[in-house]
Amino acid sequence: MIDIIPFKAVRPPRDKAGLVGSRPFYNYKKHILNAKLEGNPYTFLHVINPEFKKGDKTKPNTVERFQKVRNKYEEFINEGILKKENKDKLYIYRQITPTNTFIGLIAGVSVQNYINGEIKIHEHTLTEREKTFCKYIEVCRFNAEPVLLTYKDNAIIDSLFEKYIQTRSEYEFSTTDCIKHDLWLVESEEDIRLFQQAFKEIPFVYIADGHHRSASSVLYAKDNPANPLAQYFLAFFIAESNLKIVEFNRTVNDLNGLSEEDFLNALKPFFKIIPHGNNAFSPNEQHNFSMYLNGSWYQLITRLEYIDETSLTGTLDTQILSDTIFEKILNIQDLKKDKRVSFIEGTQGLEKLKLMVDTNKAKVAFALYPVSIEQLKNIADTQSIMPPKSTWIEPKLRSGLTIFEF
């Protein structure tokens, strides 16, 4: 039973929504980030990156830095760039990209659902990072970017979405990444009740993106038991069929001292190797990998004995790649710490992998077949954990459009 609540969002007025909403600052290349901060006084990037062009710099992840975030946030409110609703509402948010349409519900979700295991995870979180995020919430006292949660498709929720998208949206704007954004306000008490009742009938949801934000919200709730809003955190709910899971590809800087010929020979016990020459090969099914090495593409088909059917993680291509090529051949034992490995989201295509190798930024590149939603759910259901960077999940949400204040 998933417990959701409406809330009084702090959000930009209609005329500034497209200027305020931003991706997380780490998603921008430095020169693009600086250009956005220089050219747009309304972007929420000024709040989450408050020391732009200031001499009194603070260290990242410190109380001093977080206080500056809070100060800039209050400045945005005082200037009318952000305003708080006078009534609790739910929010329907839609993204239309060149290839997909995503629609879901923004609401507060109970930390008790996380504690009870009704919000399921597929990644481990780092304790220190949880504490840092918790301290951020303590100082800033808001959530600005929703945790992405996915649920089994629900006809009642779909019908409510359909009702609202027939009306004019509160926000309608496009961004430079070719995405159209719409936001509808759900303020009807009856519709809010229908949404809440529908989610009460859903036994489980799954974290698609935002494991650390969820875990830190639980810490904050435990530290603030007398604050009723602290018992919830900001979430975006999207149906499983509407979620897009993209592969996370890998590049490696060296061949662990092997020549290219010796490296190819070392692969043969684990894979059937099919050369593709100059023709880029993209994996078309599980347990097939694409490899780019020294100007040539190869198809790697995993031999059956290296697919561990007794383990859910053992059937994941990210795990197979780690267990065979990375650990046994390249001596990469810890993906989180080994700096020879880079992770490239699949949205950048095979061209990015080729460019990395051709410009000597990597020695070899691997493209994977994406994890399925069923694999993700099975991993979470059995309390198993995926290897690092197993999934790149869309939609990627904007910060600053519906801020949840504690």
C-alpha distances in angstroms, 119 versus 106, 210, 339? 16, 12, 32
Nearest-angstrom CA–CA distance, 179 and 158: 22
Confirm if 199 and 4 have CB atoms less than 8 A apart: yes
Nearest-angstrom CA–CA distance, 119 and 66: 28
**How does pLDDT run across 267-319, given as a tens digit for each residue?**
999 999 999 999 999 999 999 999 999 999 999 999 999 998 888 889 999 99
**How does pLDDT run across 114-152, given as a tens digit for each residue?**
999 999 999 888 788 899 999 999 999 999 999 999 999
Which range, of 47-56, 166-175, 199-208, 334-343, averages the lowest pLDDT?
A: 47-56
226: confidence class by pLDDT, cuts 50, 70, 90? very high
The whole-number average pLDDT for the span 231-247 is 97
In this predicted structure, the answer to whether residue 167 has a pLDDT above a threshold of 80 is yes
pLDDT for 53 equals 75
Minimal CA–CA distance to 244: which of 391, 98, 27, 106? 391
Cis-peptide into 12, omega within 30 deg: no
Residues facing 78 on adjacent strands: none
| DSSP string over 35-97 | HHHHH-TT-THHHHSTTTT-SS---TTSHHHHHHHHHHHHHHHHTTSSEE-SS-BEEEEEEE-
How many C-beta atoms lie closer than 10 Å to residue 331's C-beta? 11
In this predicted structure, the answer to whether residue 248 has a pLDDT above a threshold of 80 is yes
* HSE, side-chain direction, 13 A CA sphere, residue 122: 29
Nearest-angstrom CA–CA distance, 280 and 299: 10
For 105-140, letters b (16+ CB in 10 Å) and e give: bbbbbbbebbeeebbbbbbeeeeeebebbbbbbbbb
Helix (H) or strand (E) holding 31, with range, is helix 30-39
Mean pLDDT (the chain) is 95
pLDDT for 24 equals 78
Nearest-angstrom CA–CA distance, 210 and 215: 9
- 306 exposure class (CB count in 10 Å sphere: 0-12, 13-18, 19+): middle
95: confidence class by pLDDT, cuts 50, 70, 90? very high
What is the pairing mode between strands 271-277 and 296-302? antiparallel
Structure-token pair, residue 226 = 């007398």
More confident residue, 56 or 109: 109
Is the pTM value of this prediction over 0.85? yes
Determine what percent of the chain is predicted with pLDDT higher than 70: 100
**How does pLDDT run across 360-406, given as a tens digit for each residue?**
999 999 999 999 999 999 999 999 989 888 999 999 999 999 999 99
Confirm if 299 and 273 have CB atoms less than 8 A apart: yes
Angle at 279 between CA 276 and CA 281, to 5 degrees: 70
Nearest-angstrom CA–CA distance, 303 and 263: 17
pLDDT for 25 equals 74
**How does pLDDT run across 49-82, given as a tens digit for each residue?**
898 877 778 998 999 999 999 999 999 999 999 9
